[in-house]
């Protein structure tokens, strides 16, 4: 199919872009990398009357580092984050997650903000944002800048807290400072680069004696939004990983999920797969944290 007819404006600055979406409301869509929106338009799942191109806006391509977080502009390319050594050192989960996103060509064009804004429940960056409870920065022409935590941002499949007159401008990714930090991300798809049938991620930090000091883990593709399980993670804190019954914890996690069935996998198979992936990534994250070269965030 082909996209329905639409008008197009190349925004010269963020203020112009915000003015256009404020004026046109739900009839306007912002476009940067186009890796989520363009396929939806081609299938006529999205029919904007106006496309506002924010691809060239320098305001959305800034990266700022603080001791507590990294602020990444919504328009920063995924490949630019994937191969940024300083980002990898401070928020290693991003590199692990991005290596699973589509193909090289997808990541060359796709933006960090675009993936979050379109909130595919099987996408890697929404799961990463939720796992770290990143802060989403939203801007509008008519009201002050708004900050939304990831736990409040993803409302349903392809549905977020972004209002019609708002633009996702940046994402603040928390830094877990200290040593003995381990991360892992894994997914299963019909083919490499396809949408994941299920995905799992874990970030874990150990103290000097090997006890779990902090942990966050989650699943993608098994519900209407990515899922994290802070109540289960809390039970792991203060324990050695070897003393945990991780299969039981993973079983509790998937019992809270409600994956759908489609031509690729049944609901039961997705749950089985998610449980296996969750056990695998937690084990991999622990091994990463115990390695002599374990990541240290600054």
CATH number assigned to the domain comprising residue 21:
3.30.43.10
The CATH code of the domain that includes 101 is 3.30.465.10
Q: Are residues 100 and 168 in the same domain?
A: yes
What does the pLDDT average to over 40-65? 94
Residue 2 lies in a domain: no
pTM over 0.85: yes
Give the range among 39-43, 73-77, 95-99 with minimum mean pLDDT: 39-43
Q: Are residues 229 and 151 in the same domain?
A: no
Q: How confident is the model at residue 208 (pLDDT cuts 50, 70, 90)?
A: very high
Residue 1 lies in a domain: no
Residue 149 lies in a domain: yes
Q: What is the domain range of residue 45?
A: 7-53
- Residue 52 above 80 pLDDT? yes
Q: Are residues 65 and 165 in the same domain?
A: yes
Indicate the pairing of strand 50-53 with strand 28-31. parallel
For the chain, how many structural domains are there in total? Answer: 3
- Residue 293 above 90 pLDDT? no
Q: Are residues 284 and 250 in the same domain?
A: yes
Q: Are residues 162 and 143 in the same domain?
A: yes
Residue 9: its pLDDT value, please? Answer: 96
Residue 298 lies in a domain: no
Residue with tokens 């770290």, as numbered in its chain: 132
- CA-CA-CA-CA torsion sign (81, 31, 125, 75): positive
Cα separation, 178 vs 207, in Å, equals: 9
Question: Phi and psi dihedrals of 89, rounded to 5?
Answer: -70, -40
What is the length of the chain? Answer: 298
Q: Are residues 168 and 62 in the same domain?
A: yes
pLDDT digits (tens, 9 = 90+) for 54-78: 999 999 999 999 999 999 999 999 9
Of the candidates 174, 192, 219, which is a domain's last residue?
A: 174
Q: Which two tokens stand for residue 267?
A: 């609901």
Beta-carbon-side half-sphere exposure of residue 251 (alpha carbons within 13 Å): 4
Sheet holding 7-10, edge to edge: 7-10, 50-53, 28-31
Q: Are residues 167 and 198 in the same domain?
A: no
- Residue 297 above 60 pLDDT? no
Torsion angle, alpha carbons of 82, 115, 170, 53, to 10: 110
Q: Are residues 77 and 163 in the same domain?
A: yes
Residue 224: its pLDDT value, please? Answer: 95
Of the candidates 53, 68, 89, which is a domain's last residue?
A: 53
Bridge partners (DSSP) of residue 69 are 174
Q: How confident is the model at residue 296 (pLDDT cuts 50, 70, 90)?
A: low
CA angle 118, 164, 56 (to 5 degrees): 65
- Residue 5 above 50 pLDDT? yes
The CATH code of the domain that includes 264 is 3.30.390.50
Q: Are residues 69 and 161 in the same domain?
A: yes
Residue 2: its pLDDT value, please? Answer: 85
- Residue 277 above 50 pLDDT? yes
Q: Are residues 69 and 164 in the same domain?
A: yes
**191 contact partners, CB below 8 Å, separation of at least 6:** none
Cα separation, 170 vs 61, in Å, equals: 9
pLDDT digits (tens, 9 = 90+) for 109-151: 999 999 999 999 999 999 999 999 999 999 999 988 999 999 9
- Residue 262 above 90 pLDDT? no
What does the pLDDT average to over 213-218? 98
pLDDT digits (tens, 9 = 90+) for 143-196: 889 999 999 999 999 999 999 999 999 999 999 999 999 999 999 999 888 889
């Amino acid at each position: 199919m082909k996209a329905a007819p639409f008008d197009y404006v190349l925004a010269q600055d963020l203020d112009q872009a915000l003015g256009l979406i404020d004026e046109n409301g739900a009839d306007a869509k912002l476009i940067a990398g186009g890796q989520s929106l363009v396929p939806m338009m081609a299938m006529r799942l999205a029919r904007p009357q106006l496309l506002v191109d924010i691809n060239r806006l320098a305001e959305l391509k800034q990266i700022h580092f603080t001791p507590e977080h990294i602020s990444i502009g919504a328009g920063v390319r995924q490949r630019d984050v994937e191969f940024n050594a300083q980002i990898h050192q401070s928020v290693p989960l991003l590199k692990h997650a991005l290596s699973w996103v589509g193909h090289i060509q997808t990541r060359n064009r796709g933006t960090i903000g675009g993936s979050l804004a379109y909130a595919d429940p099987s996408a890697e960056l929404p799961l990463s944002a939720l796992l770290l409870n990143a802060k989403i920065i939203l801007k509008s022409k008519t009201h002050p800048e708004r900050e939304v935590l990831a736990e409040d941002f993803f409302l349903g499949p392809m549905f977020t807290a972004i209002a019609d007159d708002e633009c996702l401008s940046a994402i603040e990714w928390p830094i877990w400072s200290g040593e003995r930090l381990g991360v892992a991300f894994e997914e299963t798809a019909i083919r490499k680069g396809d949408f994941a049938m299920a995905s799992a991620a874990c970030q874990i930090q150990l103290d000097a004696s090997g006890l779990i000091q902090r942990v966050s883990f989650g699943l993608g593709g098994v519900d209407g939004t990515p899922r994290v399980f802070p109540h289960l993670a809390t039970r792991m804190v203060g324990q050695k990983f070897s003393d945990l019954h991780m299969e039981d914890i993973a079983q509790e996690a998937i019992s809270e999920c409600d994956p759908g069935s489609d031509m690729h996998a049944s609901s039961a198979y997705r749950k089985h797969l998610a449980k296996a992936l969750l056990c695998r990534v937690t084990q991999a994250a622990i091994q990463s944290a115990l390695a002599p070269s374990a990541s240290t965030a600054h």
